[in-house]
Amino acid sequence: MQDNRKWVIIGLFTLIGVIFLVRLFMIQVMSDDFKRKAEAISVKTIVDYPHRGIILDRNGKELVVNAPVYDLMVIPKQVAFTDTLAFCKLIGIELEDFRKTWNKVCAYAMEKPSIFLNQISRDELHRFQDQLIAYPGFYINSRTVRHYPHHNVAHALGYIGEVSASALERDSTGYYRAGDYVGISGVEAAYEKELRGQKGVRHIWVDNWGREKGAFKEGAFDTVAVAGKNLVSSLDLELQKFAEELMVNKKGAVVAIEPSTGEILAMVSAPTYDPNLLTGKEASRNFGKLLLNENKPLFNRAVRAAYPPGSTFKTVQALIGMQENVINAQTVFACNKALVKCHYHPTTDLQHSIQHSCNPYYYQVFRRIVYQNKLTQRDSTFEAAKDQENYREGFTIWKRYLDGFNLGRKTNVDLVSEVSASIPSLSLYDNRYGEGNWKFSNIYSLGIGQGEVLTTPLQLANMAATLANRGYFYTPHLVKSIGEEKSIHPEYTKKHKVPVDAKHFDLIVAGMRDAYRAGTVWSQAVNPDLEICGKTGTAQNPHGEDHSVFIAFAPKDNPKIAIAVYVENAGFGGSWAAPVAALAIEKYLKRETSKRFEWLKSHVINKRFILEPAPEPILSDSSSVPQKEEKPQPSPKKADTARIVLKEEKNLERSEK
């Protein structure tokens, strides 16, 4: 009996021991759950953000740098206020705002740091840094933001911002986390991988109070942050600035390319904005303003606007005609204004048709191309005209040439937002009119770069470069070297030949030389020293006054720069686009504006095609001299800056109403 009870007790003791061992086996050996939980609790992962690569212009001037900004941090629990009002005065905020922020950070976490005031400038910081020590719980944390020392090149460089939710979803590599900064447009986006570098990760032990206690597993899982690569842009900051200045208060685009390399020297989309507006604490507010501005300053017209090329297109038409052997240097057409209207000039041969931009001439050229009126021994237009219903084949051949010139197709410039614009295809007309139901009369305006032909300013600049090179081009690009190793994407060193023989170019180039010297270009914009070869265009469009277009390169032999200029709703190509191009070419070739062009320069700068004030101004640059706005009329007064005092501009607007 006694023994029985003894064994019950021994059994009870042993049972409990066995239960413990089984339970311990379950949580210690059979499951990894607690191992993972332990690491989740005591190992903190710290991401080290590398330095984002900076961007220099082709001459080594800084386009984008990283500037330090300072955040005022607070750990609410450590704060002991004596005089709230004095604190507000010190850091320069209103008591009301202080209360709001204070309540917000307290609601977030009492023991953890929160940002109390973000992106304090260095000057502001210097003002109160020393006195901050009197306020426990507050401290300064520094980080960097993108900064543009020059206030230019907004569109080509683009901007960075917090990665969007949709971009996070698309990121298959899992590199980004919410809150990371990522290039959103321009070079910043196109070269995101190169610029961002590689984030580093450190795993460290943290104790129960959040204090760091050394590396997890001696840093076995840590990676070192790799700094982003610096880029050297092909842009010439001086030229870019100058071109932006010329385009102030205008809508349009300027793209300049070095023909021998395809390097983009300048890319202006007007109106532009100060890229610094999209960094720093006002970024999202400024972005909203820019987005709502009716002149669409965020829209990069250089690569996203599809304009009719207008008469600049005639250069390519002439080349195609010669290559297809439907015209030659001697081909003469009467300036028959019954076909298509024209300006007053003598009857022309091919070279002079470029010089005078004869519309009826190119009506005929295009007609011959599509109808395949091949030249025989003796010019037999009449005979060839018999089989004129075979335009489908001719049209297809014509389009293939334009593909060769990369018109109506993406150039694959290193910008993510480029559009292709368009050159119409047979199917477009088949769909519109029904197969067999459309004739040359439906498409003749393509011959003079109107109608359904649409190209971007970049494509036209590339066309100008092709003309300059007499038959080839390099894909235009904004970055000429990446990182220390000075590499470049291989596609940008590949020579693209157009399907027109080099021998045909000389005639067109000569025509362009004449067009500039003694053709359609306004005489004020002519400087014979520059050896500019150009072609004007006056692009009809549904948005109002014609766009003023000009393509050019210079000098004639061994060209250094090719350029395309669009000034929206400004009328004749010769009167606004050509002066802009001529001034820019001179600036690039001579590095200064000649006496002869001084007047032209201020005339162009002071011309406004946008009547209301340009988007939020660019006035943070202290070096700029505020310039009194001139009435939009030719004036020889000196005007060497595009910076305009907004206030005066507003006054002007009021007085105009």
Partner 1 sequence: MKNKTHHTIGEGADSIAILIYFVLVIVGWVSIFASVYDPSQPWFSFSLNYTKQLIWIGTSIVIIILILSFDYRNYETFAYASYALMIFLLLVVMFVGREINGARSWLDFGPIRLQPSEFAKFITALALAKFLVSPEAKPELLRTKVIAGLILLLPVLMILLQNDTGSALVFGTFVVVLYRERVLPEWLLFAGLLMSILFILGLGMKPQSIFYFLVIPILIIAVLVILYIKEKKPLVILAVLGLSVLLIGYIYSTKYIFESFLAPHQQERILVLLNEDIDPQGRGTRYNLFHSKVAIGSGGLWGKGFLNGTQTKLNYVPAQSTDFIFCTIGEEHGWLGSLLVIGLYLSLMIRLLFLAERQRDKFVRIYGYSVASIIFFHFAINISMTIGLFPVVGIPLPFLSYGGSSLWSFTILLFIFLKLDAHRGQQMERK
* Angle in degrees, CA 614, 616, 621, rounded to 5: 105
CA-based nearest residue to 127, from 80, 92, 82, 79: 92
Count the alpha carbons within 13 Å of 261 in the hemisphere toward its beta carbon: 18
In the complex with partner 1, which residue's Cβ is closer, 1 or 178? 1
Under the binding rule (CB under 8 A), the answer on residue 21 touching partner 1 is yes
CB-nearer residue toward partner 1: 33 or 557: 33
Distance (Å, whole) CA 16 – CA 113: 47
Q: Enter the tokens of residue 468.
A: 């300059």
CA distance 523 to 574: 9
SS3 617: coil
**Helices 391-404, 359-371: crossing angle, 10 deg rounding:** 110
Tell me: does residue 20 bind partner 1 (CB under 8 A): yes
Smallest distance from the beta carbon of 14 to partner 1, in angstroms?
6
Residue in 276, 229, 288, 289 with CA at minimum distance from that of residue 119:
276
Binding segment (CB under 8 A) for partner 1, from list 131-139, 144-152, 208-216, 257-265:
208-216
Query: Contact region for partner 1 (CB under 8 A) — 21-29, 57-65, 138-146, 461-469?
Result: 21-29
If the CB atoms of residues 5 and 654 are measured against partner 1, the closer one turns out to be 5
What is the x/- site pattern for partner 1, positions 40-59, by CB under 8 A? -xx-----------------
Give the contact letters, 359-378, x = binds to partner 1 (CB under 8 A), - = no.
--------------------
Phi-psi region of 486 (alpha: psi -120 to 50; beta: other; left: phi over 0): left
Give the Cα separation of 521 and 234 in Å (integer).
Answer: 29
- Check binding of 213 to partner 1 (CB under 8 A): yes
Residue 167 in contact with partner 1, rule: CB under 8 A: no
Alpha-carbon span 472 to 469, nearest angstrom: 6
The answer to whether residues 546 and 576 touch, using CB atoms and an 8 Å cutoff, is no
* Residue 28 lies near partner 1 (rule: CB under 8 A): yes
Q: How many CB atoms lie within 10 A of CB 218?
A: 8
Q: Is 24 in the site for partner 1 (CB under 8 A)?
A: yes
Q: Rule CB under 8 A: is residue 201 a binding residue for partner 1?
A: no
Binding of residue 382 to partner 1 (CB under 8 A) = no
- 221 belongs to the binding site for partner 1 (CB under 8 A): no
- Output DSSP code: residue 202: E
Binding piece for partner 1, criterion CB under 8 A, among 14-22, 133-141, 152-160, 523-531? 14-22
Contacting partner 1 within 561-590 (CB under 8 A): none
Determine, following the binding rule CB under 8 A, whether residue 10 of this chain makes contact with partner 1. yes
Q: What DSSP designation does 471 have?
A: S
Q: Which of these segments, 15-23, 183-191, 268-276, 605-613, binds partner 1 (CB under 8 A)?
A: 15-23
> Exactly one of 5, 341, 595, 631 binds partner 1 (CB under 8 A); which one?
5
| Residue 5 or 341 with smaller CB distance to partner 1 | 5
Least distance between partner 1 and beta carbon 217 (Å): 10
25 lies in the binding site for partner 1 (CB under 8 A)? yes
- How many CB atoms are closer than 10 A to CB 32? 8
Query: C-beta of 219: minimal distance to partner 1 in Å?
Result: 15
> Which residues contact residue 52 at a Cβ distance below 8 angstroms, ignoring those fewer than 6 apart?
66, 144, 146, 160, 181, 195, 196, 197, 228
Query: Which of 166, 172, 208, 330 is close enough to bind partner 1 by CB under 8 A?
Result: 208
Distance CA 516, CA 656 (A): 36
Question: Which CB atom, from 93 or from 206, has the smaller least distance to partner 1?
Answer: 206
Q: Which span sits near partner 1 by CB under 8 A: 38-46, 515-523, 596-604, 633-641?
A: 38-46
Q: Should residue 206 be labelled a site residue for partner 1 when binding is judged by CB under 8 A?
A: yes
With CB under 8 A as the contact rule, the residue among 128, 209, 465, 502 that binds partner 1 is: 209
Structure tokens at 445: 């305006």
- Calpha distance 467→471 (Å, rounded): 6
Residue 33 or 96 having the CB closest to partner 1: 33
* Minimum CB distance to partner 1 smaller for 216 or for 313: 216
Upstream peptide bond of 555 is cis (omega within 30 degrees of 0): yes
Closest separation in Å from C-beta 35 to partner 1: 5
> Which is nearer to partner 1, 5 or 631 (by Cβ)?
5
Best CA proximity match to 99, nearest among 91, 109, 88: 88
Beta carbon nearer to partner 1, 43 or 140: 43
Q: Which is nearer to partner 1, 14 or 223 (CB)?
A: 14
- 185 vs 158: CA distance, rounded Å: 4
The number of residues making up the chain comes to: 657
Q: What tokens does 644 get? A: 């305009």
- Residue 29: CB minimum distance to partner 1, A: 5
Find the shortest distance in angstroms from Cβ 75 to partner 1: 18
Interface segment toward partner 1; rule CB under 8 A; list 55-63, 200-208, 257-265, 530-538: 200-208
Smaller CB separation from partner 1, 14 or 380: 14
Contact 203, 215 (CB under 8 A): yes
Closest to partner 1 by CB, 92 vs 219, is: 219
Using CB under 8 A as the binding rule, the residues of this chain from 227 to 286 that contact partner 1 are none
CB of 21 to partner 1, least distance (A): 6
Q: Which of 139, 205, 299, 440 binds partner 1 (CB under 8 A)?
A: 205
655 CB-contact burial (10 Å; exposed 0-12 / middle 13-18 / buried 19+): exposed
Tell whether residue 6 is a contact of partner 1 (CB under 8 A).
yes
Our CA angle for 262, 451, 312, nearest 5°, is 40
| Pick 26 or 385: Cβ nearer partner 1 | 26
Interface residue with partner 1, options 23, 386, 638, 650 (CB under 8 A): 23
* Alpha-carbon gap, residue 366 to 320, rounded angstroms: 9
N-term to C-term CA, the chain: 117
Nearer to partner 1, 16 or 611 (CB): 16
- Which residue, among 601, 603, 657, has the nearest Cα to 630 in the 3D structure? 603
**Which of 204, 419 has the CB closer to partner 1?**
204
Of 29, 80, 133, 220, the residue at the interface with partner 1 (CB under 8 A) is: 29
- What is the size of the binding site for partner 1 (CB under 8 A)? 34
**Given phi > 0 = left and psi -120 to 50 = alpha, else beta, which region is 69?**
beta
Question: Cα separations (Å) of 513 from 459, 519, 524, 527, 571?
Answer: 21, 9, 16, 12, 22
CA atoms of 216 and 196, how far apart (whole Å): 26
Decide: is 109 part of the binding site for partner 1 (CB under 8 A).
no
553 has which bridge partners? Answer: 533, 562
Q: Which spans of this chain sit near partner 1 (rule: CB under 8 A)?
A: 5-6, 8-10, 12-14, 16-17, 19-21, 23-25, 27-29, 31, 33-35, 37-39, 41-42, 205-209, 213
